[in-house]
Structure 1
Amino acid sequence: MLLLIAAPLLARADALSIHVIQRADAQALVPVIRPLLPEGGYVNAYQGKLVIRTTSANFDQVLAALGDMPEVPRTVSVHLRRRADGGRNGGGVSIDRNGVRAGAGSISHQRQDDYRIDTLAGHAAGISQGTLVALTGTQYPALMTLKQGIRITPVMTGDGRVRLTVAQRFDEPAGDGVARTQGADTTLVVTPGQWRSLGAITVSERTGARGLSGGATHSERLDLPLEVKVEIGGR
């Protein structure tokens, strides 16, 4: 009776089954793991994963061997482009001794900033620039650092894509000791080599003035769309 029970248990312990390990350096580990496998076992690399067919006991040995081999992080190049599209419209009516005069005009402007950040997968990186300005409105002017820049943390996913955590900041002086600040944070998954929209910031402002000699109105708009693309480097 004891022999009949022990035989099936032994068979199950030696049975081969499939095990999956997520490793960014999976392809490089295949020739290292292959000699460790028993007869009938195999190992393949697929989209950042090791697919191993082996026994449970041997799989524990493989895990122990991998524990002495730190995962080699991949280099990620993050490309960003940000366009600043804006416009200003104005018009007014004035009255003087020569009569009534009306006028209107518009100004548009465009700017594009291109960034490239190289970092290791899982490690944050950023680019920024700052300006120190004096803000009014209090008894003593306050000094404030205005920042314009982007901070990114890329993380490789098991299917070969990249999960990006992006924080952007766009501060600028607005004149007369006043500062305008904008910021946005987002997380998304991108496919290497493809541009992806991160959204946009839109700022609109409208002012008007009236007096005995006439009146005037001004409107201003600023759009800040941001796009991102990633490329995966070698080890």
Structure 2
Amino acid sequence: MKLLSVFAALFCVSAVALPANADMITITALDVRGTGVFGHDLNVSGVTVNGNAPSATNSLANPLDIVLTYSNLNLDGDASANDAVTFTIRGTRPTGNVTAMNQGLDAGFGNLDGLTVSVVNVSGTTTDLGNNIVFDGFTGANVAAGFNGAIDKAASINGTVVDLISAATGSFQFIQGPIDFALTPTLAFTDPVGNTNSAGGTLVARHYDLQFSTVAVPEPSSLALVGLAGGLIALRSRNKRSV
């Protein structure tokens, strides 16, 4: 019976030693607002904010979900960019609503404290290989401030502070500060104490850099090996009990 158990173990190893991530791609500066997605018009379709079409009216919810399909990707290594993935940008807070406005996402007008952004409900397969598309994490993000005068605001993303400072220009201005970082599943925004008090204006979460990759789907023959290995192990267990 020892020979049988070794044989079953080898089947298990061969069945689960499948290819890992086949390819990956980064979507950069994905500009998500309550009024839609900007700068990616040829790539984005089917955008909804909390189940509704984007509009000029601010959307309030917790969680707040912006669902979109990003197409024209090449994740299977062929000559054509014909892959697509559908995913949700989700904003949450411990209490209160998240706002999706014309300039971005916030935790109440002019602040970001307690806002968390994540990606959920990822679906899609590569056109040619049929591999599953998965979200690896964020690799960057932006915070931004807008005001009709001098701006002196700050916010932190996962603990890194971004200062947004500008002298008055005589008209409305909107400035942005990016952060790049190692892969992370979520973005936590906070307002550093004492550094968020220009005389009004907005403070929002804006662009996101996201990395997606593909994971090979087990072939039916591999799944059959897993089932066979399980059956052999179960058989060995029953034989031991009957001795």
What is the TM-score normalised by the length of structure 1? 0.24
Higher relative contact order (CA 8 A, sep 6+): 2
Relative to its length, the structure with more strand (as a share) is 1
Max Rg structure = 1
